[in-house]
Amino acid sequence: MLDETVFSGVHEVSVDLPTAPDQDHGLVLKWRRRGEILEGLVSREADGRVMTEWLPALLLSPAESSTAPDNVLAES
């Protein structure tokens, strides 16, 4: 049985995947801790499709408003 704790909060992030040549931008929909690892449920666009997956927090960083695409998160 996995020890899983879920945290709430939506955050705009940059995603730095080792397999991708560039950083992606996405939204963290949920946070969870699985043992010693913190993960974010990230929704992002890749290859023209929307992907939602759990990613380790070490791959995520706060998105800079100047580098984030306009369609990711609009300020009101």
Q: What is the per-residue pLDDT across 4-46, written as a single tens digit (0 to 9) for each?
A: 555 566 778 888 887 877 888 899 998 899 899 999 999 998 8
Q: Is the pLDDT of residue 72 over 50?
A: no
**pLDDT band, residue 62 (cuts 50/70/90):** confident
Give the number of domains in the chain: 1
Dihedral sign for Cα 69, 41, 15, 61, please.
positive
19 in a structural domain:
yes
**Rounded Cα distance, 16 and 14, in Å:** 7
38 in a structural domain:
yes
Q: For residue 20, how many C-alpha atoms fall within 13 Å in the half-sphere facing its CB?
A: 12
Whether residue 25 contacts residue 14, with contact meaning beta carbons closer than 8 Å, is answered with: yes
67 in a structural domain:
no
What residues make up the domain containing 42?
Answer: 4-62
The pLDDT score that the predictor gives to residue 21 is: 77
For residue 58, the SS3 value is helix
